[in-house]
Amino acid sequence: LTPEYYESIEDTMRGEYVGIGAIVMRDQSDRYIVNDLIPGGPAERDGLHVGDIIRKVNGIDTSTFEDVGQLAAIVRGEEGTVVTLVVFRSSANEELTIKLTREHITNVSVRSRMLEGEIGYVQVSEFSENVAKNFEHAVSDLLGQGAESFIFDLRNNGGGYAHECIDMLDVLLPPVEVASLKGREDGHEYTEVWKTKNKAVVSEDMEFVVLINENSASASELFTGVLRDYGRAAIVGKKSFGKGVGTVTIQLPDKSAIQVTNFAYYLPKGDSVEGVGLEPDYVVEIPRGASGKPISSMTREEDTQLSKAIELLLP
């Protein structure tokens, strides 16, 4: 990883940076695709859509970039300055030029609210620092408001810290095995079992629904797969990304870093999601006209996946 990419990862996981408020992933065809938008950020306000393919940044063709970090290093900059993007919007089959003013971005990873029917809704955008603590606070607060079931929204959540994922499961499950690992360290193979350790804060018969889509990856798939395997959650949405391996990041003296894939994880029933993803129990498509919107900006009529989750939990 370039120094810029490593720094952008660290900033993102801390949840604060100066930029445009867009989360971008590089797909298997080396295209840079807008994965999600930070609510209220410049990208959402000024016309960038989820699913847009970024072709140029300040006149530089993105096909020349080595990684997402190189793109992030150009997109991010001083507060108040302008960055110009050329994007292709496949839903409209058109190329657009969008100018965005950089701002200080604070990404709130956990958002929650009460829905009808005493349903608690918790959206987790990434498994960043302290997300498990914030998740527990959100769940406890909703329980205090009378929540009798929960929807956990992991759509567009590309993963993050595995230990935060395990700590989130600790909020929902009694002490159980949640994953087995097979890895390599210092030239030796090893196996390890991850477990939850504490008493759950919710009752054992409380119903859950997890929302996922094609951008839900890694720790999102671990969280969802564990709840599925223990029969605690129905899954709604679209098939997930399919990342069942973990990496370690090592920073080098020149401030660059290397990421080494050093373990694969397996769900409680022994399955791996690597390359296959998780299939929802209920496959639900977002209407074409709403597919470019951030989740937080969709109306109830547009968010057919959330509507299905609510339908499953209502008496």
Residues 232-246 have pLDDT tens digits of 999 999 999 999 998
pLDDT at 207: 98
pLDDT at 11 over 90: no
pLDDT at 270: 96
Over the stretch 176-224, which tens digit does the pLDDT of each residue have? 999 999 988 888 899 999 999 999 999 999 999 999 999 899 999 999 9
- Report the percentage of the chain scoring pLDDT > 90: 70
Tell me if 216 sits within 8 A of 156, measured CB to CB: yes
Over residues 46-74, the mean pLDDT reads 92
Q: How confident is the model at residue 27 (pLDDT cuts 50, 70, 90)?
A: confident
Looking at the DSSP bridge assignments, the partners of residue 248 are: 260
CATH 3.20.20.220 fits 110-313, yes or no: no
Which residues, 6 or more positions from 17, have their beta carbon under 8 angstroms from its beta carbon? 8, 11, 76, 104, 105
Alpha-carbon torsion, ordered 205, 147, 195, 250, to 10 deg = 150
Over the stretch 105-158, which tens digit does the pLDDT of each residue have? 987 899 999 999 999 999 999 998 899 999 999 999 999 999 999 999 999 998
Tell me if 183 sits within 8 A of 190, measured CB to CB: yes
pLDDT at 261 over 90: no
**How far apart (Å, rounded) are the C-alpha atoms in residues 280 and 112?**
22
Task: Give the CATH H-level superfamily of domain 3-106.
Answer: PDZ domain (2.30.42.10)
Q: What is the residue extent of each domain of the chain?
A: 3-106, 110-313
Q: How confident is the model at residue 302 (pLDDT cuts 50, 70, 90)?
A: very high
Q: What is the pTM of this model?
A: 0.83
**How far apart (Å, rounded) are the C-alpha atoms in residues 46 and 236?**
30
Tell me if 178 sits within 8 A of 226, measured CB to CB: yes
Which residues, 6 or more positions from 161, have their beta carbon under 8 angstroms from its beta carbon? 13, 127, 128, 129, 131, 219
Q: Maximum CA pair distance of the chain?
A: 59
Among the listed residues 3, 100, 110, the one whose alpha carbon sits nearest the alpha carbon of residue 48:
100
